[in-house]
Amino acid sequence: MTKVIDVELRGIMKKFQSNVVVQDFNLQVEQGEFIAFLGPSGCGKTTTLNMIAGFLDPDGGDLLIKGQRMNRVPPYKRELGMVFQTYSLFPHMTVAENIAYGLKLRKVGKKEMQERVKRVLDLVKLPNVADRYPKQLSGGQRQRIAIARALVIEPSLLLLDEPLSNLDAKLRDELRDELKRLHQEIGVTTIFVTHDQEEALALSDRIVVLNHGFVEQIGTPLEIYNQPASEFVHTFIGKTNRMEGEVIGMDDNQITVRTTGGLLVQAAKQQRTFSPQQKVIVFVRPEKITLSDTVADTGANRVEGHLQLASFLGSYTECEVRVGEHTLSVKVQMTDKSAEREAGEAVYCQWNAEDVLIMPAERG
């Protein structure tokens, strides 16, 4: 089946005076895809979204929507919906009037307008608030209305600029699930800006990780998490244990690294190629390490340490274990009997060679 490309960025560049904030951005967004722009503040993700929306013009490269070059085309000619971090609802208008505003500008008939407003209110599960004013709604309800207003014009492209960041944690999780349901139901091509890694992992078909205006990696959530292209990506997405060291042995199946703290770490064969005495960085995710009172026969890496800190966080306990000169972060799930731990205990940390990621130190 031929892929339909809804949005394409070709070498996009944007600068403010002498400060380049987006550089050499290349991306193809397929029809119906949910793409997340993920990165820390100031990395260029919102600037790029604003260029796609037409609020900013690129200073280099080409921006195409539905195959048409959109450089310097104003926002109202792009037929897209946008939801901002703030709700941006008109306080003097009812919910129905807020939602219908875009339809009025497009001179949609009254009967069709009413039907479409009712349809999107049902879609966002707020069928009974049409006559209320924004001040009579909760924050989560207002953000749903903002999403409904963007969807009612039936855009070919939906842009979301950190729409969940102003909500409390529980409401943010609920609305995140609603966004996923909505996308599955209507299938509109969506580009979502966030600095929250969990949102990006949960919602996206693919993630674009940005750092200082450059694209670090583009991939599925599994690829980004398990096969990071750089140290930045690995450390930005989720927690990790980082140890510097040197390759001291290799065979067809395994690499041995001696860390600067004196640990011997066994790693399965990597996608990258390494050489003896090469300086490297070793990474192990906290959830890949298990704790026990005795040494088990399983796991290529087994080290003794002392529990320094145990923080109960509901579904898991986050532990810090001192192993020689290293402090390892370990995430123990509550299904594990070893989750009930106290500081000062002697414990064994174990992990598999397949769960170790090695990167060249010069690329860190």
Which pLDDT tens digits describe the chain residue by residue (364 residues)?
A: 678 999 999 999 999 999 999 999 999 999 999 999 999 999 999 999 999 999 999 999 999 999 999 999 999 899 899 998 887 899 999 999 999 999 998 999 999 999 999 999 999 999 999 999 999 999 889 999 999 999 999 999 999 999 888 788 888 888 899 889 999 999 999 999 999 999 999 999 999 999 999 999 999 999 999 999 999 999 999 899 999 999 999 988 899 999 999 999 999 998 888 999 999 999 999 999 998 887 766 668 999 999 999 888 888 889 999 999 999 999 988 765 555 667 778 899 999 999 999 999 865 4
Tokens of 298: 């399983």
**What distance in Å separates the CA atoms of residue 2 and residue 173, rounded to the nearest whole number?**
35
Domain ranges of the chain: 5-236, 241-363
Question: Would you state the CATH architecture of domain 5-236?
Answer: 3-Layer(aba) Sandwich (3.40)
* Of residues 277, 265, 281, 234, the one with CA closest to residue 351: 265
In the chain the beta strands, taken as DSSP E runs, fall at: 5-16, 19-30, 34-38, 60-65, 68-69, 80-83, 157-161, 189-194, 206-211, 214-219, 241-250, 254-259, 264-268, 279-284, 290-292, 301-312, 316-323, 326-333, 346-351, 356-360
Residue-level pLDDT at 16: 94
DSSP 3-state of 96 = helix
**What distance in Å separates the CA atoms of residue 67 and residue 143, rounded to the nearest whole number?**
31
In 95-226 the beta strands, taken as DSSP E runs, fall at: 157-161, 189-194, 206-211, 214-219
Give the burial class of 79: count Cβ atoms within 10 A of its Cβ; 0-12 exposed, 13-18 middle, 19 or more buried. middle
Q: Which residues contact 273 (CB under 8 A, 6 or more apart)?
A: none
Residue-level pLDDT at 137: 94
Strand partners, 83: 160
Q: Are strands 19-30 and 5-16 parallel, antiparallel or unpaired?
A: antiparallel
**How many residues comprise the chain?**
364
Task: Look at the domain 241-363 and name its fold.
Answer: OB fold (Dihydrolipoamide Acetyltransferase, E2P) (2.40.50)
Residue-level pLDDT at 108: 93
Neighbours of 72 (CB within 10 A): 9
User: Residue type at 21?
Assistant: V
Residue-level pLDDT at 173: 87
Which H or E element spans position 169?
helix 169-186
**What distance in Å separates the CA atoms of residue 97 and residue 103, rounded to the nearest whole number?**
10
Tokens of 243: 């140890």
Tokens of 311: 């923080």
**Cα angle for residues 308, 309, 315 (degrees, 5° grid):** 145
**What distance in Å separates the CA atoms of residue 155 and residue 53, rounded to the nearest whole number?**
12
Q: How far is CA 332 from the centre of its chain?
A: 23
Q: How far is CA 38 from the centre of its chain?
A: 5
Q: Are 193 and 162 in contact (CB under 8 A)?
A: yes
Q: Are 144 and 125 in contact (CB under 8 A)?
A: yes
Residue-level pLDDT at 337: 59
**What distance in Å separates the CA atoms of residue 68 and residue 66, rounded to the nearest whole number?**
6
* Of residues 247, 266, 214, 243, the one with CA closest to residue 328: 243
Handedness of CA 165, 166, 172, 176 (dihedral sign): negative
**What distance in Å separates the CA atoms of residue 329 and residue 240, rounded to the nearest whole number?**
8
